[in-house]
């Protein structure tokens, strides 16, 4: 099969060719629960840039060359002997983790903490024509949703949904929720907030293109991150800050400012990463703020998100690239030139 293969790390992200187009062996069914999916679309994630930089090298053991791509959807191409829930030809979206079903964490629904493989991160992913996954990971798509249009929900959407679902139980009408970073995840976060809560939504970003996407996604207010964003949010929220801040950036000054935008007894959710949280224990007790980490999402989260998408309550902004143009997609993402999410199509 054809694949875009990562052969070398590039810590400064300066190479023209991050990945190489190569012919590689097709993945094969080796366990009864395996499924091979013919890729309809694979989302291009900022994590892929972090992988190329070598940021994940210490965290996961993966040998180069390997194939990135952890946001995958397509059609079932082949199934192992014990697979019963899908058949060849079914359209599916792939939960990014092949979690171990017998672990207590998996039985409790915490797929992210149940061990197992993470194709595209620690093993071959979907920047290819075919992907090996498992029956536990696939969600059958409703008729209304085409694989290439939904692939980024597998991680970008799922991660946004997981964080917003946690936040929504802490929001009532009259509250404010700030969404920092209106990119591939943030624009889904705004729509899910709209669907799950009655809070007024403030979309915050440096770029006017992103703020426009925030408005199209349903934000009630937009704030340009031009250095005055903290004051602007405080002005909108009567000087108190927002009950919920969801930070899809998580680096630079967004962390310090995001925490300051969070009102006392409010909640700050970290989704984007790369920076550091610094707050004194005294500030923590006086403010009673909660700081919450978020990692991908559960299988039920993905099923629920597909239900929202099926009803048209969440829509993805995507930009399509051919698989053999993967380097353009990665460079465009690196330069901040993708509105919404880039998707590779074999
Ligand atoms: Zn991702």
CATH no. for residue 216?
Answer: 3.40.50.720
- Rounded to the nearest angstrom, the distance between the alpha carbon of 244 and the centre of ligand 1 is 23
Residue 176's contacts (CB-CB under 8 Å, 6 or more residues apart) are 199, 200, 201, 202, 236, 237, 242, 243, 244
Ligand 1 centroid from CA 161, angstroms:
13
User: What separation in Å is there between the alpha carbon of 184 and the centre of ligand 1?
Assistant: 9
Q: What pTM, to 2 d.p., does this model score?
A: 0.93
Quick one: 107 and 212 in the same domain? no
State in Å: Cα 49 to ligand 1 middle.
Answer: 10
In this prediction, residue 60 has a pLDDT band, given cuts at 50, 70 and 90, of confident
Q: How many angstroms separate the alpha carbon of residue 15 from the centre of ligand 1?
A: 21
Regarding whether 181 and 124 lie in a shared domain, the answer is: no
- Categorize the per-residue pLDDT at 57 as very low, low, confident or very high, splitting at 50, 70 and 90: confident
Q: How far is the CA of 181 from the centre of ligand 1 (A)?
A: 15
- Residue 184 — pLDDT band, cuts 50, 70, 90? confident
Could you tell me the CATH number of the domain that includes residue 110? 3.90.180.10
- Residue range 305-311: average pLDDT? 96
Same domain? For 9 and 127 the reply is: yes
Answer whether residue 311 is part of any domain.
no
pLDDT surpasses 90 at 337: no
Domain that includes residue 113, residue range:
2-154+316-345
CA of 286 to the centre of ligand 1 (A): 35
Residue partners of 39: CB distance under 8 A and separation at least 6: 69, 72, 73, 74, 126, 128, 129, 130, 131, 147, 346
70 C-alpha to ligand 1 centroid (Å)? 6
| pLDDT over threshold 90, residue 135 | yes
Query: 120 C-alpha vs ligand 1 centroid, how far in Å?
Result: 9
The answer on 110 and 130 residing in a single domain is yes
**Where does the pLDDT of residue 179 fall: very low under 50, low under 70, confident under 90, or very high at 90 and above?**
very high
Contact 19, 128 (CB under 8 A): no
141 and 174 together in one domain: no
Residues 288, 321 share a domain: no
How many independent structural domains does the chain possess?
2
């Amino acid at each position: 099969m054809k694949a875009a293969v990562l052969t070398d790390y590039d810590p400064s992200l300066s190479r023209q060719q991050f990945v190489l187009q190569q012919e590689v062996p097709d993945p094969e069914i080796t366990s009864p629960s395996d499924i091979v999916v013919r890729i309809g679309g694979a989302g291009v994630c900022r994590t892929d840039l972090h992988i190329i930089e070598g940021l994940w090298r210490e965290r996961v053991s993966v040998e180069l060359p390997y194939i990135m791509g952890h946001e995958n959807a397509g059609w079932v191409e082949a199934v192992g002997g014990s697979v019963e829930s899908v058949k060849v030809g079914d359209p599916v979206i792939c939960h990014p983790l092949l979690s171990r079903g017998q672990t207590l964490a998996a039985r409790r629904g915490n797929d992210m903490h149940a061990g197992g493989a993470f194709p595209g991160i620690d093993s071959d992913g979907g920047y290819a024509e075919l992907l090996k996954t498992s029956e536990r990971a696939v969600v059958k798509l409703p008729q209304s949703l085409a694989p290439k249009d939904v692939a980024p929900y597998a991680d970008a959407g799922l991660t946004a949904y997981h964080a917003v679902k946690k936040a929504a139980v802490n929001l009532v009408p009259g509250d404010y929720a700030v969404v920092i970073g209106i990119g591939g995840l943030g624009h889904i976060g705004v729509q899910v907030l709209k669907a799950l809560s009655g809070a007024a939504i403030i979309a915050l970003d440096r770029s006017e293109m992103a703020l426009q996407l925030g408005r199209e996604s349903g934000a009630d207010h937009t704030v340009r991150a031009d250095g005055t964003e903290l004051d602007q949010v405080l002005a909108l929220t009567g000087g108190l800050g927002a009950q919920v801040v969801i930070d899809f950036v998580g680096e630079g000054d967004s962390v310090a400012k995001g925490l300051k935008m969070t009102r006392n007894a409010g909640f700050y959710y970290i989704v984007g990463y790369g920076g550091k949280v610094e707050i004194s224990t005294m500030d923590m007790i006086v403010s009673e703020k909660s700081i919450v980490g978020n990692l991908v999402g559960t299988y039920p989260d993905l099923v629920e998100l597909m239900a929202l998408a099926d009803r048209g309550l969440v829509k993805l902004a995507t930009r399509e690239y051919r698989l053999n143009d993967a380097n353009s997609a990665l460079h465009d993402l690196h330069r901040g030139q993708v509105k919404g999410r880039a998707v590779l199509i074999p």
